[in-house]
Chains A and B, each alone.
Chain A
């Protein structure tokens, strides 16, 4: 059960004795396995509940997506009552989040009309990403937003909304005109069209990579700090304190990245729906 951990300690000891590339290779392999596949999470840390094999299902990102969905649905079902004017505790928290997204993101960037139209989508993105980010920080649970396929799907949804809102606001003609830079010489305008197309694609790509890399980098940092204990033993105990500090920073990053993702998709929609840009 602790095969991976033992192997890693053995590798580290071997690395001290004779540093060669194959040891480096196996450590790299271990990190990749931990971060990208997550199946080694429970095995690697010699935790008391490591024998509970059913916890392994939470190492799958697909399962975590459904767990996140269940948490969100339960939150709304338990907290929000349609027949009440003033919500109680949990409902007020949800109202706070929704109001924040509506006023500070949707209406601020998209104006009152389109902002209200897109608020449901932006709220969904915000709450879903926030839930998955925070669930990813719970031990045993895998971080679904640390998977590039999940963030890719979210970014593609944003892209569809960006193009859809642009076509709705300006028509197909207007949408294609956003690729033309106004006020430039004719030859330059033609030369700029491919660049503008690439810019649109790279916006979506950046949305995907930003969320994925932020979440993954945080997990690698925590893992590297805790991994020192696995490699060096009790000498590295202070690293646990650093890991705790990084964990609290990651709590901030989890909220911040959910905010940034929502805010940037709203800002990109706003860019594409303006007639002149």
Chain B
């Protein structure tokens, strides 16, 4: 197996973790909003920040994949 295939598999594994992470963020935001609907805008901003930060990790793996492509 060459570096491209290995890095693609690695990116897949990273995406698994990131999916769980963003799912947890969304879940907490939804349950927080359900309990206290009046702070929904604030929660939404915080959710977006967290989701964007986590998403960055998946994108790092994507970029590493592209760097491996020859």
Taking a contact as CB atoms under 8 Å apart, the answer to whether A210 and B56 are in contact is yes
Taking a contact as CB atoms under 8 Å apart, the answer to whether B59 and A267 are in contact is no
Partner of A260, one of B52, B63, B66, B69: B52
Q: For B48, list chain A residues within 8 Å (CB).
A: 259-260, 263
Give residues 52-70 of B contacting A (CB, 8 Å).
52-53, 55-56, 59-60, 62-63, 66, 69-70
Taking a contact as CB atoms under 8 Å apart, the answer to whether A264 and B45 are in contact is no
Check A18 for interface membership: any CB of B closer than 8 A: no
Nearest A residue to B61 via CB reads A213
Interface size bracket, B side: 10 to 19
**With A25-B70, A206-B53, A260-B52 given, is the CB distance from A108 to B45 under 8 Å?**
yes
Q: For A28, list chain B residues within 8 Å (CB).
A: 4, 69-70
Interface size bracket, A side: 10 to 19
The CA-CA distance from A63 to B12 in the complex, in Å, is 35
Summed over the interface, the residue pairs from A and B with CB atoms below 8 Å come to a total of 39
Q: For A216, list chain B residues within 8 Å (CB).
A: 66
Check A217 for interface membership: any CB of B closer than 8 A: yes
Check A209 for interface membership: any CB of B closer than 8 A: yes
**With A28-B70, A32-B69 given, is the CB distance from A209 to B52 under 8 Å?**
no
Q: For A263, list chain B residues within 8 Å (CB).
A: 45, 48-49, 52
Taking a contact as CB atoms under 8 Å apart, the answer to whether B45 and A210 are in contact is no
The CA-CA distance from A28 to B8 in the complex, in Å, is 13
The CA-CA distance from A35 to B45 in the complex, in Å, is 32
Q: For B69, list chain A residues within 8 Å (CB).
A: 28, 32
**With A25-B70, A28-B70 given, is the CB distance from A209 to B45 under 8 Å?**
no
CB distance from A262 to the nearest CB of B (A): 11
**With A28-B70, A108-B45, A263-B45 given, is the CB distance from A210 to B62 under 8 Å?**
no
Check A87 for interface membership: any CB of B closer than 8 A: no
The CA-CA distance from A267 to B69 in the complex, in Å, is 34
Taking a contact as CB atoms under 8 Å apart, the answer to whether A209 and B56 are in contact is yes
Taking a contact as CB atoms under 8 Å apart, the answer to whether A210 and B52 are in contact is yes
Q: Give 22 A-B contacts (CB < 8 Å), ordered by A residue.
A: A25-B70, A28-B4, A28-B69, A28-B70, A32-B69, A206-B56, A209-B59, A209-B60, A210-B56, A212-B63, A213-B60, A213-B62, A213-B63, A214-B59, A259-B48, A260-B48, A263-B45, A263-B48, A263-B52, A264-B49, A264-B52, A264-B53
Residues of A in contact with B (beta carbons under 8 Å apart): 25, 28, 32, 104, 108, 206, 209-210, 212-214, 216-217, 259-260, 263-264, 267
A-B contacts besides A210-B52, A267-B49, 4 pairs, CB < 8 Å: A210-B55, A210-B56, A212-B63, A216-B66
